Structure formats: C-alpha cells, structure tokens
Structure 1
Amino acid sequence: MSSSVERIVNDTCGSQNISKTSNFETAVPSKRTYPKRVFLIIGSQFCDFFNYYGLRVLVVMGKSSYTHIETSSENMIVRIFKCIKHAISTKRIEKEAKSHKRLLDYSIQEYGAQLVADIRIMKRMLVLYLPASFYRTLSEQQGSRWTLQANKMNGDVGFYIIKPDQIQALNPLLVLIHIPLFEIIVYPMLSKFGIRRPLQKMTIGGIFAGIAFLFTASVEFWIASSPEHSVSMLWQVPQYVSLGMGEIMFSVTGFAFSYEQAPASMKSVSQSFWFLTFALGNLILVLITKMNLFESQAHEFIMFAVLMFIDMFIFGIMARNFERMNSDVTIANDIHKNEMIESTISGDKW
C-alpha cells in the first residue's frame, strides 16, 4: 500500500516537474525574425526621407546658378482675377462708348499692357488644358480599374507571386526606361517625319493612352471567358507599356510645354493649372463610373479608348489654332518692335 502511494506521489511530482520544464522551455524567447518585405518598407522610408531633406539640400546647393526674377508681392492668381473684374466693370460703365474691341483692353490703363498680354497667353493655354484633362481620366485608372482587373488574374510567375497592387510599379519603371529611349531614338526618328513640336508629341501620347485601353479591354474579355484566376497577370504588361509611352509623350512633354510657353510672371500659375488637370480627370472618371453605362467592364474600357481618340482629335485641332495664334502674336510683336526702333531713329516720341 505504501509503495503504491509513493509511486503515485513520484509520478505526480515527476509530471509537475515535466510541466514546469516544458513551460520554462516555451517561455524562452526564440530567435527574432523579420518579414521578408521589411527591406522594402525600409527602402520606402528612406526614399520619403530623401524626398523631403535630400532634395532641399540639392536646391540650396544649386541656388547660386538660379535666375531670379522680380515679381509682384501680390498673389498672381488674385491679380489676374482683379484685372478681369476691372475690365468687366469698366466695360459696363463705358457701355455706350465701346472704346475697346477686346474685353481686357479696358484694364490696360489700370494694370498695364504687359499683364493683359500675359493673361491672354494663359487663357489660350487654359483652353488647351480642357481636353488634356481627359488623359488623366485614363492614366489615373492604373491604381483603380487596372488593379481590380489584376485582382482577377494569376500573379504566379514561377519564382515570385505578384500581388494585384504590385503590378502598377511597372509604370514608374517604364517611364524611367522610356525617357532616355525616346530622347535618343524615338524623337529623332519622329523629327524625320516632321513631328517636332510639343503639341504634336502630346497628341500622339494621348493616342497611345487610347491604345492602352484597347489592350485593357482585350484582357478583360479574355478574363471573362476563362476560369477564375487562370489568365496570367503578365498580360497586363502591353497596356502598361503603351500607357508609359503615352506618359512620356503627353505628360512629360506637356509639363515642359506649360513652363516654356507661360509668361515669365506666370510660370508657377501655369504649373498649378497643369496639375489641376489631375483633379479634373479624376472628377470625370467619378462621374462616368457613377453612371454605370455598361454591365461589362470590357465595354467600358472600349468606351474610354474611343473617347480618348475623339478627345485627341479635338486637341490636335486646338493645338494647330494655338500655334497659329502664337505665330501671329510673334509677328505682331516683331512689327511693333521694328516700328519703335524706326521711330526712335527718326526722333518720334512715344
């Protein structure tokens, strides 16, 4: 009896010791491991840090080579609206006299001929921005419609599984590849066919964006007629390549065009209006998608492509008018300068 009791006690104590040992072993912290993509997070944080501080250091380092232009301390956009408001109110007062043919001429005496001429240039540029906004309607779908399309596709490429929101990283990569490629090869080839002016390049860039959405529609038709997640995500590459080419020819060229064509006093104003096209493009996209015009997503992609082709046709006509008006203004300015030189030589007073 006593031996059996001792055995039970020993077994109980042994099991308690074992449980204590196991608890102790589990309490020992294991080797710390990090997620596989932690280096991507670190890299992203470094890029953000450099974007904020590094670029400011570069700006300060190159400050000595900048060209400083004295401008009015008053906000230029406010000054523009004041000039237009003054012209409207003055015209109403002098309604019967009709001393000026054009509206802004009524503000020349108050604000000067230079500001009035600059506003006229900006007005012509803003008219061009209206059809340019629809390009943003297409390009901004990379992070929405195209990502939703990738979500229905197979991202397995053998050595790696691409996530639906990772495929859009192709766009900045392709832009970096296309910039030197276009400068060295594509643009010299296009110049042989007479395509040298920025607005011509922008028109072709918009056409490439429309072609990208035709690729997108064909992939969508393929997905609809195939088993779920059977179409490889790599079939989205052609649409990204085509849109990347459009980004170089339309967006990059348009950004430079906006700065070069803007008057010296309105460089920043033109850039702000250029970025406003992003907002207008997204607004157009929201309005169209809220209409639910098509049950099939592929048909909606085709609609965007067709609208883009029509939009670029209108943009091409407006671009020709803009270039013609600019040439007329240049000729008029040259004639005016020549008249001033001749009058100065002859002793006439201005």
Structure 2
Amino acid sequence: MRAVLVLYFKYFLLWDDNLSTVVYHTFVAVCYLTPILGAIIADSWLGKFKTIIYLSIVYTVGQIVMSVSAIHDLTDGNRDGKPDNVVVHIVLSMLGLILIALGTGGIKPCVAAFGGDQFEEEQDKQRSRFFSIFYLSINAGSLLSTIITPILRGLECGIHTQEKCYPVAFGVPAALMVVALIVFIIGSGMYKKVSPQGNIIIQVLKCISFAISNRFRNRSKSIPKREHWLDWAKEKYDELLIAQVKMVVKVLFLYIPLPMFWALFDQQGSRWTLQATTMDGHFGTIQIQPDQMQTVNAILIIVLVPVFDMGIYPLLRKCNLNFSPLKRITVGMFLAAMAFVVAAIIQTEIDKTLPTFPKGSQIDVKVINLDTENLTFSFNGNMQDSSIVPSLQASRYYTLPMDNTVNFTYGSTFKQFPVVAPSDKTRYTYIVRNTTSVEAVLDEDISKKPEQGSNAIKFVNALQENITVKINGASIGDILPFSFSNYTMVNLGVKKIEGSIAGVNCSLDSEKFGFGSSYTIIIKECSSSAMSVEYIEDIQANSVHMALQIPQYFLLTSGEVVFSVTGLEFSYSQAPSNMKSVLQAGWLLTVAVGNIIVLIVAGAAGLSEQWAEYVLFAALLVAVCIIFSIMAYFYTYSDPAEIEAQFDSDGKKKNKKELEAMGFEISDGPQSQTKM
C-alpha cells in the first residue's frame, strides 16, 4: 500500500509535495511506534501467536476503510469526477491509516520473534538463515506489490465517472491479508508457542526507574560504589532481572544512532518517488510509473540477500576477516549515505531540465506570430530590447512585472496593448496577426509541469473558419478562428489528430509525446488532401531517464541488506529469553524515530533545492556512522543463554561451586565468570 500512498495524497486528496511527504512519514513513524504496544500485549497477556491474529484483523479492517475512502463516487454528487466533500475522504483515510498503523505495528515485533522461537538455542546457523529468508520473503511480497499496486492504481474505475482506481489498489491488499491470516491460522498446530511471561516491559521500566532513583537517594551517603548503575536496583529486584535488563539497555544504547539510517531509507517511498515523477519512465515498449521504481529495491533485495548470505559472508570468513554484525551495520549506514549523494547528483541533472515559473508579482509572456510576415515586439515601450518572431513561430517566455504594455509591429503597422493578466505567477501566450490592423489575443498557459507522465496539449486555430478537433478520438471541441482550445492531457506516444471544417475531414499522426511536456499546436491547414500543424514546445518533456535512479537504489539496497537483516538477527541474539519481542520493538522503534527525523530535518533546514536536502541527509548519516563505529568498537557481545544459566529459579546467582560445575571459570575480579 505504501507504494502508492504518497501519490494518493498528492493526486486524490490534492495535497502538495511537502504535505504529502509529511503525512507519509508521520504514518510510517506511527507504524514503527506501535510495536511497543504489540510487544507489551504479546509478552504480557496474549502471547505472540494470538497477538498476530487479533492485530492482523485490525490491520485488515484498516485496509478496507482505506479502500472505501478512495471511492471518488462516495461524495461525487454532481458527477464531475471530483469529490464534493474532500473532508469525508480525509477523515476516512486517516481512520484507515490509524488502524493499519496499529495492526502492522502491533504484529511487527511478534512475527520476527515468533519465527525465532521455532529454533533451539544451539541452532544459531539455522536461525540466522531463517532471518535472511524471512527478510527475503517480505521483499518478495514488496516486489509483487510495487509492480501490481501501481498497475491497479492506473486502472480507471467508478460508477458515474472513470478515475484512477485507488479503491482497488487498497482493496486487493486487504483481500490478500485475509488469505494470509487464514493460512497462518491453519498452521497453528505446527508452531512452537512460548507462553507470555508477564508484563516484562513495565518490569524493565520500573527496574530502571528504581535504580536511578535509588542511586540519587543515596548519592550523599558513604555507600560503596557499585559495578553497574543498574545494580542500585538490587534492594528491590532479583539479580536475574537486573542482568537481563543490563543486556537490553546495553543494546538499546547502541541503537541511539541507528534512526538516521531509516531517515534516509524510507525516503525512497516519498522524495525518491516524487523525484521519479519528473523523470522519463519509458523503458522500450514498457512505461514505468514513478511508484513502480520502488520495485528496484525489492528485486535487488531478492538478488542480494542470497549473494551476501551464501557468497560474500562465507568468503570473508574463509579469508579470516571478522565482518561482525556491528561492522555490517556500520557499512550499511555508509552505503545509504553514498546513495543520497548519487540522488543529489541525479537531482542536479533533473533541475537543469525543469522549467522556471514566475514568482512574486511577475508573469511569463511569450508571443506566437500567426501572420505571413515577421513580427517585431517589445515590452513596456522599450524598442531597444525588441525581438523578431518569424511566421508561425513563437518567442521564448519573457518574465515581466504585471503592470506592463506590449508593442507589436508588422512593417510600418504598429499597435500597443496593455498586458492584462488576471493573476501573477502565471504563464501567458499572445497570438498575433495583421489583417486590417494588428490583432492580439492573450491566453493563460499551464503554469506547472504536467505530472503522472501526462502531456498538456492545446491548439491554436490559424485558419479562417471554425474547426472541430479530436485527438485519439476524444473531442477537443470547436475552435474559432484566431483562438485557443482548452488543454487536454495525453499520455506517452503518437496520437491521431483529426480535424473537420464544413464537412471536410483531415488527419495526421502527431509527434511522439514523452513525459511531462506541454505543447501549443498551431493548425495551419485542414483539407481533404492534408492536415498541417506546427508544434510550439512550452515545457520540455522529462529527459532524465528513471534508469539513472538504479545506482542510488543499488547502494541503498546493499546498505539495507547488511544493515536491516543483520539488525534483526542481532536484536534477537542479544535479547534475554523473555525479552525477544521487547528488543525487536526497540529495533523497530529506530525506524519510527528515523521518519520523525525526516520531518524535523526537512522542516528545520528549509532548503529550496532538493539536491541540497539530499546532501544534508547524506552528511548527517556519515557523521552518525562515525559515532556508531566508535560505540561499536567498545561493545562486547553477550550470550543471553549463558548469562541466564548463572541464576537459579528464584533469580539469585548460583554459588561458586555450581558455576564451576557448569563450566564457568571463576576469578576474584568483577564480571569474572567466563565459559571454559
């Protein structure tokens, strides 16, 4: 669903780029904040299995509400294809997203931990392979969804009017979620189900809180210094719980820099998708939609996970190179930063092709000469800056203040017109000819680049009679002599242009239209033998190809493989037996914080250039990567099973003889137990 979400905000709810990005990342952040709730429910009351079932139902209901919210006929009383009350759609959309966030967030820490529960403690290799396959499976689903969901979105559906089919794009995932839930329930008898062991998160928080408060209460007393600050909780909590909390806190502290990775990673669904809307998506005979470019990530995941798992990692081990989990995470962060450097470079190339529209109280004006002789024109009576436009050609756009005049001259015939522009920050076109006197007509042009691969086309009738025009069979209507048509939107390719004058029909095949262009087409001739037109390109088609995004996707996905897969496995392996979901939730919480960082950094930076924002995020991640590498250097790996084995059923540490009998070597220093 996320594949089309930012485009749903922009093109259905009609929000701008910034609001669409803000709501998108807010939604993702909430999805990764709710895992804490899921972990509490699973570990305290229901267990992982039941939590997955119940919250998956919430998930499905939310998806259904989203599908209903996207039905444009729901409030389209006048049947014009536009919602009469967009507030209804916004309210339903937000309700659906909240339910989805509760559902997906609630099951996230449970699913990975539930899979890990199926393995015994000694099955480290199998469990590691499971997490790779688990991540591979998620991205196989992501691959299918980022191919199919945009296709479903691109369909046209509706009762009264045909519009983009977001209801089906959201509805199909809802139906498939029902199927997935049924399959999961059918396998119930095959699973190893670990019973909930109490409200462990609350216990952890209380233990930490008591240790801190106890330490400050006794700071002025002459009490011997304790080995660890959590040891100040010994007056109230058993030694086993304190040892387990120490393991969790040690890992959570290490997670502090990690959200910056997700701040970059999740922008492929927002900023990178919006970047793709300004690019050429024509791959041979296939037209790729901007949201389908996210398939590159899923395809690369499916390819790279086995490559790393069965190729690169074993090769490094054979070369006796210690590519530990924390080193992998560090490399992943660096690769993500490099991906954004590449994205910035691509953005600078895109910016060179984008039109510059007027700002403030200015307008843009161009002139089309419909006469047979050359036209000379100037603005504000300044003949020294005059320009010449040949017959049936156009000038460039001139940026002017709104209060202005224009002088038109054909030979010795001269006339001045006031530039009467209805609004600023807008583009306009004059058509000019010389009959008994100089005539000029001003028309408003499109003042933003066409999106979703469309091209904006309007016609000018340079003939002496009315002409009826069709493009690909769709009627543009009658165009009076010396007049403009309204704009019509056409997609990629060659179109058939047809004209009719007083029963005489004419036609021709158009030039091949690209992505995001705008043309004014002058109709010069329409007879039984021929149709002749002249093309004036007002806005250049997208010329930077979407394929240039592949290197940034490759770098980001490579970073994801060594960062995210490793992080899931690391979180599970370093967690105490009764806190697997807690640490999984902590890992997922870094994703939520990362999306919040996007909102803060993008808002606080206030950068007008997108490439500069990409560079800023890359620089921040490099800085964080350096900090994390220093923290990782001082981190010591734990074996939760061995640590827990040192305590009896009452949570007290076993005596020296018992530990030695279990194979631990005991010395007199602090933390002196080591496995022989």
Give the TM-score of the pair, scaled to structure 2.
0.41
Q: Which one-letter code corresponds to 2:205 in the other structure?
A: F
Cα offsets for 1:36-93 (capped at 9, x unmatched): 859x9586455423332223333x1422xx274x6632x1111112212333444455
- Look up the match of 2:18: none
2:197 maps to which residue?
Answer: 72
CA contact (8 A) 1:100 1:106 kept: no
Aligned residue runs from structure 1 range 82-97, under 5 A? 82-95=206-219, 96-97=221-222
Distance in 2, matches of 1:232 and 1:342, equals 65
Trace 1:262-273 onto structure 2 (pairs within 5 A). 262-273=575-586
Q: 1:103 aligns with which of 229, 232, 255?
A: 229
For residues 176-325 of structure 1, the aligned pairs below 5 Å read: 176-191=302-317, 192=319, 194-226=321-353, 228-323=541-636
Instruction: Give the structure 2 partner of residue 81 of structure 1.
Output: 205
Which range is displaced more, 266-275 or 291-300?
A: 291-300
Structure 1 stretch displaced more, 140-149 or 155-164: 155-164
Corresponding letter in the other structure for 2:562 = M
Listed as ranges, the gaps of 5+ residues in structure 2 are: 1-151, 157-167, 354-539, 647-652, 663-676
Where in structure 2 are the equivalents of 1:112-151 lying within 5 Å?
Answer: 112-151=238-277
Q: Distance in 1 between matches of 2:604 and 2:249?
A: 32
Paired residue type of 1:280: V
Q: Which amino acid aligns with 1:84?
A: I
Q: Amino acid of the residue matched to residue 50 of structure 1?
A: V
Which has the larger displacement, 80-89 or 278-287?
80-89
- Indicate the structure with greater helix content: 1
Q: Secondary structure at the match of 2:282?
A: coil
Q: Following the alignment from structure 1 to structure 2, what is the Cα–Cα distance between the partners of residues 271 and 253?
A: 12
Q: Bigger CA drift: 83-92 or 141-150? A: 83-92
Partners of 2:197 and 2:600 lie apart in 1 by: 39
The 3-state SS of whatever aligns with 1:304 is helix
Q: 1:52 aligns with which of 155, 165, 181?
A: 181
Cα separation, 1, equivalents of 2:625 and 2:565: 17
In structure 2, how many angstroms separate the alpha carbons of the residues matched to 1:306 and 1:148? 22
Q: Could you say if the C-alpha distance between residues 292 and 341 of structure 1 is closer, same or farther in structure 2, counting changes exceeding 3 Å?
A: closer
- 8 Å Cα contact 1:155-1:161 kept in structure 2: yes
1:340 aligns with 2:466: no
How many residue pairs match? The answer is 302
Shift of 1:277: 0.7
Larger displacement relative to structure 2 (301-310 or 239-248): 301-310
CA–CA distance in structure 2, aligned partners of residues 280 and 47 of structure 1 = 29
- Residue aligning to 1:165: 291
Q: What is the TM-score when the length of structure 1 is the normalising length?
A: 0.77
Runs of 4+ in 1 over 6 A off after TM superposition: 342-345
Q: Does the CA-based 8 Å contact 1:153-1:231 persist in structure 2?
A: yes
Distance 1:248 1:118 in 2: 29
Q: Is 2:190 the partner of 1:62?
A: yes
CA contact (8 A) 1:77 1:269 kept: yes
220-229 vs 94-103, which deviates more? 94-103
Change (3 A) 1:130 1:89: closer
Alpha-carbon distance in 1 for matches of 2:629, 2:660? 41
Do 2:574 and 2:638's aligned partners in 1 also have CA atoms closer than 8 Å?
Answer: no
Question: Is the partner of 1:85 in helix, strand or coil?
Answer: helix
Residues 265 and 135 of structure 1: is their aligned pair in 2 closer, same or farther, counting only changes over 3 Å? same
Q: Distance in 1 between matches of 2:305 and 2:594?
A: 24
* Structural RMSD (CA): 3.0
Amino acid at match of 1:98: I
Q: 8 Å contact 1:195–1:201 — kept in the other structure? A: no
**Partner AA of 1:340 in structure 2:** K
Amino acid at match of 1:141: Q
One-letter code of the match for 1:204? V
More moved, 101-110 vs 269-278: 101-110
Q: Distance in 1 between the 2:283 and 2:259 partners?
A: 36
| 1:106–1:284 Cα change, 3 Å | same
After alignment, is 286-295 or 116-125 more displaced? 286-295
Q: Give % identity.
A: 33
For the 8 Å contact 1:87–1:105, the answer to whether it is kept is yes
Separation in structure 2 between the aligned mates of residue 280 and residue 83 of structure 1, nearest angstrom? 24
Q: By percentage of residues, which structure has more strand?
A: 2
Note the C-alpha offset of 1:298.
Answer: 1.1
Say if 1:91 and 1:98, in contact at 8 Å, map to a contact too.
Answer: no
Where in structure 1 are there 5+ consecutive unaligned residues?
1-33, 346-350
Structure with the larger RCO, 1 or 2 (CA within 8 Å, 6+ apart): 1
Q: Are the counterparts in 1 of residues 230 and 242 from structure 2 also a CA contact under 8 Å?
A: yes
Three-state SS of the structure 2 residue aligned to 1:264 is coil
Partner amino acid, structure 2, of 1:257: F
Q: Distance in 2 between matches of 1:263 and 1:207?
A: 30
Q: Deviations over 1:148-186 (max 9, x none)?
A: 110110111121211111111222222122111111212
Give the Cα–Cα distance (whole angstroms) in 2 for the partners of residues 322 and 236 of structure 1: 36
- Which amino acid is 1:78 matched to? I
- Aligned pair in 2 of structure 1 residues 182, 121: CA closer, same or farther (>3 Å)? same
The code of the aligned residue for 2:627 comes to: I
Shift of 1:246: 0.9
Q: Deviations over 1:209-255 (max 9, x none)?
A: 11111111111111112355111111111111111111110011101
Q: Distance in 1 between matches of 2:290 and 2:177?
A: 23
